[in-house]
Amino acid sequence: MNSPAGFDPRLTPARPDLAASHLKGKVEAARFVEGVRMRVTAPKAPLRRNPAPDAPLDTEALHGERVTVYETTEEGWCWGQLEVDSYVGWIPASALSAPGQEATHRVDALRTLVFAGPNIKRPPLMALPFLSRVVVVRQEGDFAVSDDGGFVSASHLVPVDAVVPDFVGTARRFMGAPYLWGGRTNLGLDCSGLVQIALQAAGYACPRDSDMQAGLGSQVDVSGGLGALRSGDLIYWKGHIGIVSEPGRLLHANGFHMAVAEEPLDAAVKRIRNSGSEVLAVRRVTQ
């Protein structure tokens, strides 16, 4: 189902049959509903284009993120909008629960284990990815105890509003992670997912897709070539984006390596040009 003309369907909770109540008067729909705020309680939850397990993966919602749900089907799918980047799609209802308290901490390790008690010899309950959000109610020894009774290594958590300015360094932590269209964790992520995760950790509100990210920061004049680009500059092609890790080097999740890889910038530009795509823009994000 498509969103009304003039609205980006990725970011607009509106279909011909159903739309969010705040869009009444702006779009046409058979009915308008108030959304219900929910929390992702699974380690991660797929957000798909259609309510089917084999539908394309558009993005992933991470543990603790909030979702506004506008419809829940009998088959167990929720149609809603992510709070972190406004993306709209279908999420399994089994991955969601009531919102509860606002998160106090976030995961700073690429992945951390949640135990049923303060003992690392106990079987873990789940593994939470980087940037997952948790509510810490107390500390017990080396463990932080979450509001749902899970025990997480306190050394793997930072306050939810902590900022890591070096987003290039954050992106480098994902080196070797497999390429996954729509992914946002070290188990698999795509080019824009890598950029989004790195910038979010640095305190930026970053949109999800590469064409949206091409509007971040300020335009860099590359009429004289790419040799003067700085660490942190974002290079955008149609359907692809990467980070200049240092002068002359590109860090990106890509289908050629099928992983997050760092390589000579000139080699990447040449290869992508040979596949039919030229650099469209370079953006500089400053804090």
Categorize the per-residue pLDDT at 286 as very low, low, confident or very high, splitting at 50, 70 and 90: confident
Are 238 and 222 in contact, with CB atoms under 8 Å apart? no
Q: For 79-102, what is the mean pLDDT?
A: 98
Which 8-state DSSP code applies to residue 61?
E
- How many percent of the chain have pLDDT more than 90? 96
Examine the pLDDT at 2 and tell me if it is beyond 60. Answer: no
Model pLDDT, residue 1: 46
Beta-sheet strand order (sheet of 218-219): 218-219, 281-284, 234-237, 240-246, 249-254, 259-264
Query: In this predicted model, what pLDDT tens digit does every residue of 130-142 receive, in sequence order?
Result: 999 999 999 999 9
Q: For 9-23, what is the mean pLDDT?
A: 97
Averaged pLDDT score across all residues of the chain: 96
Q: For 16-39, what is the mean pLDDT?
A: 97
Query: In this predicted model, what pLDDT tens digit does every residue of 211-270 receive, in sequence order?
Result: 999 999 999 999 889 988 999 999 999 999 999 999 999 999 999 999 999 999 999 999
Examine the pLDDT at 110 and tell me if it is beyond 50. Answer: yes
Query: In this predicted model, what pLDDT tens digit does every residue of 149-208 receive, in sequence order?
Result: 999 999 999 999 999 999 999 999 999 999 999 999 999 999 999 999 999 999 999 999
The rounded distance, in Å, linking the Cα atoms of 9 and 19 is 11
Residue 79 CA: distances (Å) to CA of 28, 142, 182, 209, 277: 18, 39, 17, 19, 34
